[in-house]
Amino acid sequence: MLDLAEKTPVDGPDAAALAARVADLNARYRHHSATAVMQGALQNAGKIALVSSFGAESVVLLHMAAVTDRATPVLFIDTEMLFTETLVYQSEVSERLGLSNVQIIRADDITARDPDGSLHRRDTDACCALRKTEPLNRALASYDGWITGRKRFQSGTRAALEFFEVEDGTGRIKVNPLAHWAPEDVRAYMEENRLPRHPLVAKGYPSIGCAPCTSPVAKGEDPRAGRWRNQEKDECGIHFVNGKMVRTGAKS
Ligand code: SF4
């Protein structure tokens, strides 16, 4: 049984204890399925949320969460820069899966810090911090852990991803049930469960973020090549060290 309910301080011996607990969880769950990791986290992990972008592959984890507990807290960050298709998809998928606790998270100071909505043209890191990372960090403050859809195959920076990770400096644990999945596993799960695809996937968007920073991908390109195209950036910065956003590496 997972035991993440006890909130762990972030420094010194307690941080070491948290790291040891995560290592133990990874050892215990090494041969378990994604569904088992998801169910174990939701049923035994204290206060935990699923963070979802309702993007190209998000419906897999949303379905796993709905099957386990439809009242699972689902945090959806509306950057106010998303495609209209994503907003419609979020609403339709939530209803179809019967998710009853979808929380829409928005920044509360966009008017002051990005009054004309042009910050993404000058400084994508600052824009992601304002519209994604800071609101998510605030929303997660009362949680013991969170579930993400990150997978090893997605980029070089995720190649060593495990089911469980310590989030440096926050005392939270990140759970990555799909860490070991390949693209074929994602496709097969969607087909077997007849899950609706994000409408932009059929239009050449295998990875979907904000409209100004996402472009279609050509055949043979890396699926994430359309995210912040022609920039070094490859992650939105939803990662924390000592409670602060950090960059996670260059585009693979
Ligand atoms: Fe801003 Fe682009 Fe980041 Fe969205 S992806 S928050 S528009 S920089």
Q: What is the pLDDT of residue 57?
A: 94
Q: Verify whether ligand 1 is closer than 6 Å to residue 236 (CB atom).
A: yes
Contact 79 CB / ligand 1 (< 6 Å): yes
**Atom 3 of ligand 1 has which residue's CA nearest to it?**
128
| Protein residue whose Cα sits closest to atom 6 of ligand 1 | 128
Phi, psi of 102 (to 5 degrees): -85, 120
Question: How confident is the model over 180-199, as pLDDT tens digits?
Answer: 999 999 999 999 999 999 99
Answer yes or no: 236 catalytic: yes
Instruction: List pLDDT tens digits, range 89-111.
Output: 999 999 999 999 999 999 999 99
Domains, the chain, in order of start with CATH, read 12-201 (3.40.50.620)
Checking if the pLDDT of 238 tops 80, the result is no
Does the structure show a pLDDT above 50 at 250? no
Query: DSSP letter string over 190-234?
Result: HHHTTPPPPTTGGGT-SS--BGGGB----TTS-TTTTBTTTSS--
Which range is most confident: 111-115, 165-169, 222-226?
111-115
Please work out whether the CB of residue 131 comes within 6 Å of at least one atom of ligand 1: yes
Tokens of 86: 């994503």
Task: Give phi and psi for 223, each to the nearest 5.
Answer: -55, -25
Residue with tokens 């307690």: 14
Burial class of residue 31 (count of CB atoms within 10 Å of its CB; 0-12, 13-18, 19+): exposed
User: From the CA of 129, how far away is ligand 1's center (Å)?
Assistant: 9
245 Cβ below 6 A of ligand 1: no
174 Cβ partners below 8 Å, 6+ apart? 145, 146, 147, 148, 164, 165, 166, 167
Say how many Å lie between the CA of residue 246 and the centre of ligand 1.
Answer: 15
* Closest C-alpha to 131, from 195, 212, 63: 212
Q: What is the pLDDT of residues 42-82, one digit of tens each?
A: 877 679 999 999 999 999 999 999 999 999 999 999 999 99
What is the DSSP secondary structure assignment for residue 104, as one 8-state letter?
E
Q: What are phi and psi of 206, to 5 degrees?
A: -80, -10
Provide the pLDDT for residue 252. Answer: 39
Rounded to the nearest angstrom, the distance between the alpha carbon of 37 and the centre of ligand 1 is 30
Contact of 82 with 178, CB cutoff 8 Å: no
User: 29: closest CA among 48, 45, 52?
Assistant: 45
Pocket flag, ligand 1, residue 210 (CB < 6 Å): yes
Per DSSP, the residues of 57-93 read: SHHHHHHHHHHH-TT--EEEE--S-B-HHHHHHHHHH
pLDDT cut 90: percent of the chain above it: 60
Q: Which pLDDT value is given to residue 46? A: 74
Return the residue matching tokens 């609706």. Answer: 196
**Dihedral (CA of 126, 135, 147, 47) sign:** positive
Quote the CA–CA distance of 20 and 63 in Å, as a whole number: 30
pLDDT attached to residue 248: 45
Instruction: Tell how far the Cα of 131 is from the centroid of ligand 1, in angstroms.
Output: 7
* pLDDT of amino acid 242: 46
